[in-house]
Each structure stands twice: as structure tokens, then as C-alpha cells.
Structure 1
Amino acid sequence: MNISVYIRPLVLEDAQTSYLWRNDPKVWTFTNFKATQRITPRMEAAWLQSNLNRPDQIRFAICLKELDTYVGNIQLLDIQDKRAELHLFIGNKMYWGKGIGYQATMLILKYAFFFKNLDSLYLRVHPANIPALSIYEKAGFDIVGEKDGLVRMSISKKKFMALETSDK
């Protein structure tokens, strides 16, 4: 099955879906996010409202083209000095391992480097999160170190452009 995705800006209505993911500990296995209480749709909407218009963040929904279904989030955080931190998660576990994370990563790289004109992206990933590590390595990220038990990875616009050209 070949699944195609697109990304679109997150909207408040997405809270009606994403609150379910916030309450699923499996989704957050490899992250520092641990809900201390049950997240309601109202709480999720309030959190989204406070984060959607921040100038140092751009948050996207990952959606399936064929079904127009929202399945996860990808975002650029801490945008400053032409750099940003990449965060990605697939909240709908039915779509884990289907190549969606890789496609969304490639879309956000194109957006970051060609539309936002950033020079580099970085991320942190748990070393046991093998699927995420393979997504990022396939997309061209390099391991640059480890900090606080997390693998640090980055990619420059120059490297991404070279990879894009060599793929054609």
C-alpha cells in the first residue's frame, strides 16, 4: 500500500483529534512528554491556541492525501538565527511504519530550506527509537553527538540541496 501525505498548518479544530494522542502513553514512549493528568479537548485547544501564533514556531498537521485524514504533527520550533529544531510524531498508531514520517520530514525540509530560507535544522531523538533514527538518516541528517541521553542530529541546507540534486 502506497500512502501519500501532505502537511498543512495546524488549526484549533485539530485538538479534537490530537488530545487523544496526548493521552496515549505509547505515542510518547521515546519522548520527555508525560501527561500528568488526562488531557481534554478543551485543554488541548487552549494549548494549541497559545502556541499556534508564536513567531519562533511553525506547526503542521500531517495528513493522508487519499483520505484527507490527520495522523500526526511535524513542527519547526525555536526558530532563530536561520536554524530550527524539528519535532515529528505520528499520533495515529495505525500508520506507524508506513513511511509517513519520512515523507513528512522531506516536506518540512523543503519548506524550511526553500520557503523559510533556514540554513539548518537539528533534532534530538531517543537512541532506542530506531524507526525515527532511520527516517532522519534516510532524509540526510547526520549524528552530531549525544546530550542528556538523546542522539543529536542535524542537516544543513547545503547538504539537503546536494541530496535533492543527486536524487534527480
Structure 2
Amino acid sequence: MDAYGDQVRLRAMDVADAEALWRWNHDAEVMRWMDEGYAETTAQVAKWLGERPENAYGDVLFGVEEPGGTLIGLVRLHGAEPETGIAELDIYLGEKDFWGKGYGTDAMRTACRYGFEKMRLRKINLTAVVENEAAVHIYRKVGFIEEGRLRQVFRRDGEWIDKFTMGLLAHELR
């Protein structure tokens, strides 16, 4: 089931999205504040998308589309267990032409609303590199609260950087 925000549509990702996902994952500017894996071929990305289990309570992966139907990013709620009602959120926009125009904020709100309403989560967690000011700003704007700091867990440009742990309860979503 798709989820709709004011500016975005969240929809299931499939093998046809492999080229865009590969391109984003190989763009240094897009990946600047994310944990990087090892280089993969487009075929490996397509295989991962094709073999991935269907979206279900414990793990949902959505492509983020703008109103014209262009895939601009992804959002994932994963690690959810019915006993706790807590999931981890990962998000990024890979199409840089859409940065700074509200699409990321809308995708965050839409994904969180989906988590609270459809998945019946009680809390959503995420981690963010403290120097990724744009992302941290969006997370706070949506209602996420800093709950802790993980010291020197992310390496970029030869330096170890801290990450915030942030959480959002259903009633805090803005």
C-alpha cells in the first residue's frame, strides 16, 4: 500500500529501481554522511532488490517519488518487533536536484505517519552524524528528540565523528 504526503508518494521498490539506487550509492556527495558498503554492480543491487522479502511489519522499504513520478530517494522502517513497537528509520534523497525543497521533510513525516498508523509503532529511532546539519534539522523539525550521543563511531575524511541517537514517539510527530 502506498503512502502519500503533501509532496511525495512512498511506494514499494522493485528491481526496476536498481539503476537509480546504484547511482546514488556511488555518488560521494549523496553518501557523504552515510555508512558506505563496498562497491556493487547494478546487477548486485538488482539481485538484492529482487531477493528482498516483501514489505512486512518488521521491514518496509519505500521508494520516494515526487509528484511527476520520478524516484528521488528511499526510506526504510526496519527492525520492528510487535513486542516493543519500535523501528529504526533510514532515509535519503539520492536526486540532488530535489534537495532543500521540502521533499525530505515530507518523506520523513509520511514515513513516520505510516509507521505509527499502519504499523502501529509506538516509537521510531534513528541515528544521525552530528555534522550532517541539514538532516539533523529535518529530524528535529519533524519532532525527533536527541536521546544520546555515540562517540567517534563514523569515519569521514580521516576523522572519527559522533552520531546522535534520536527518537520520536507518536504524539511528538509534527
Range class of TM-score, shorter chain: 0.7 to 0.9
State the partner residue of 1:51. Answer: 52
* Counterparts of 1:25 and 1:111, CA distance in 2: 30
Cα deviation, residue 86, structure 1:
0.5
Q: 2:87 aligns with which of 84, 87, 90?
A: 84
- Flag structure 1 segments of 5+ consecutive residues without an equivalent: 164-168
2:169 matches 1:156: yes
* Cα distance per residue 1:126-166 (max 9 Å; x no partner): 01111100111000000001113211100011323xx4xxx
Alignment gaps of 5+ in structure 2: 1-5, 154-161
Secondary structure of the corresponding residue to residue 52 of structure 2: helix
One-letter amino acid of the structure 2 residue matched with residue 83 of structure 1: I
Counterpart in the other structure of 1:30 = 33
Which one has a larger percent helix, Structure 1 or Structure 2?
A: 1
- Compared CA separation, residues 99 and 54, structure 1 to 2 (3 A): closer
Query: Which residue does 2:74 correspond to in 1?
Result: 73
Whether the 8 Å CA contact 2:85–2:121 is kept in 1: the answer is: yes
Q: Which whole-Å deviations, capped at 9, do the CAs of 1:57-88 have from their partners, x for residues lacking one?
A: 100000011x1100000110111221100100
Letter in 1 for 2:62: F
Distance 1:58 1:134 in 2: 24
Name the SS of the counterpart of 1:59 in structure 2. strand
1:103 aligns with 2:106: yes
TM-score (norm 2): 0.84
* Residue 138 (str. 1) matches residue 151 (str. 2): no
CA 1:78–1:153 in 2, change beyond 3 Å: closer, same or farther?
Answer: same
Number of equivalenced pairs: 156
| Larger proportion of strand | 2
**Residue matched to 2:13:** 10
Moved segments of 4+, more than 4 Å: none
User: Could you list the per-position Cα deviations for residues 5-64 of structure 1 after superposition, in whole angstroms to 9, with x for gaps in the alignment?
Assistant: 111111221112211111112111111114x33x32211111223334365210000001
Matching residue's letter, 1:44: V
1:145 is paired with a residue whose SS is strand
Closer/same/farther in 2, CA of residues 57 and 90 from structure 1, 3 Å limit = same
Computed over aligned residues only, the root mean square deviation of the Cα atoms, in angstroms, reads: 1.6
